Amino acid sequence: MKILSFEYEGTILFGPKVKREEAVWDILAIAEFYDEAQFPQSIIEGIASGLDFVEKIRQLVDKMELEEKAAKFKYAFTEIEWLSPIPRTPKNVICVGKNYKDHATEMGDDAPPEKLMIFTKAPTAIAADEEDLPIHIETTETLDYEGELAVVISKEGRNIPTQLAYDHIFGYTIANDITARDIQTAHGQFFLGKSLDGTCPVGPYVVTKDEIPNPNKLSIVTKVNDEVRQNGHTSDMIYKVEDIIAEISRFVTLEPGDLILTGTPAGVGKGMTPPTYLKEGDTVKISVEGIGTLSNQFVKKQ
């Protein structure tokens, strides 16, 4: 199931994509119609219920599809404003650095890090699919892209064994770990250079884990103005999804709605000769197999 968050007539909502249509079900209105008083009122609350939440959505949609008035409970994509499927995380967005050997090489490292490399992005950096993003020209001249598979956590856990990691996953989405390289270098750490407003677009959907049997076997392609820059595969990740969850949870309690970015393949702007960074008017599209395409244009904002 593909679930998205969106705004319709000033109200923030969420729901599943309508099958074979460019539209979304207003699942909260459907739940109210069927007097489902216990239905989760936020996507994070629903995610915490895991696949029970997904099954309940399926049941409600199946019933609504038989109603004559079903069309009143869905909105065309042209009628809504897209939001990140996870509009706000419980804590900072958790990110894995240099998780692809070729990317570590293009960044100037002789070898990938010996241990899992973790940094975070502020949740205020989260943005949506199709949202125009600030180029931040007043702050940086080296804004760079990083296409990544992102994992959405559903079940709280600490010290999660590798073999149980998938029990704690709700689904998967796409993220662009946009980075101000000069700020990252100047401050000697990643947080500020990774956390400018709008530097973590996520979407378009979160795809539930039942539709992606193995997240370690997905293609990732990033295009800048339709030029392929990254053409990678999650099978090349040094630390697999289950390894990442197990290692992070040794130190941090994972919570429903936590977002983990799993690293980027080679092909970022900094690794080009000469380095080629984003500029006003550029469009970045990131496609991950089984999920879709995340697209954003960079603009000068006041």
At residue 301 the predicted structure's pLDDT band, cuts being 50, 70 and 90, is confident
Reference 13, options 36, 37, 35, 30; nearest CA is 30
C-alpha span between 32 and 114 (Å, rounded): 52
The predicted structure's pLDDT at residue 302: 57
Map residue 130 onto helix, strand or coil: coil
C-alpha span between 168 and 287 (Å, rounded): 24
At residue 72 the predicted structure's pLDDT band, cuts being 50, 70 and 90, is very high
Domains and CATH numbers, the chain: 2-83 (no CATH), 93-299 (3.90.850.10)
To the nearest whole number, what is the mean pLDDT of the chain? 96
C-alpha span between 206 and 107 (Å, rounded): 30
Map residue 16 onto helix, strand or coil: strand
pLDDT in tens, 263-280: 999 999 999 999 999 999
The predicted structure's pLDDT at residue 208: 98
Kindly state the average pLDDT of the residues 270-297: 97
* pLDDT of 127 higher than 90: yes
* pLDDT of 6 higher than 80: yes
At residue 112 the predicted structure's pLDDT band, cuts being 50, 70 and 90, is confident
Q: Which residue has the tokens 């000069």?
A: 182
Backbone angles phi, psi at 174, to 5 degrees: -115, 145
pLDDT in tens, 174-222: 999 999 999 999 988 899 999 999 999 999 999 999 999 999 999 999 9
Q: In what order do the strands lie in the sheet with 292-299?
A: 133-134, 292-299, 283-288, 219-224, 227-233
C-alpha span between 286 and 131 (Å, rounded): 14
Q: Do the bridges between strand 283-288 and strand 219-224 make them parallel or antiparallel, or are there none, so unpaired?
A: antiparallel
Contacts of 154 (CB under 8 A, 6+ apart): 47, 48, 49, 50, 168, 169, 170, 171, 256
The predicted structure's pLDDT at residue 38: 93
Q: Which residue has the tokens 């490399």?
A: 117
The predicted structure's pLDDT at residue 43: 96
User: pTM for the complete prediction?
Assistant: 0.97
Amino acid at 17: K
The predicted structure's pLDDT at residue 20: 94
* Range in 52-61, 112-121, 123-132, 241-250 the model is least confident about: 112-121
Buried/exposed code over 182-205 (b: 16+ C-beta within 10 A; e: otherwise): bbbeeeeebeebbbbebbbbbbbb
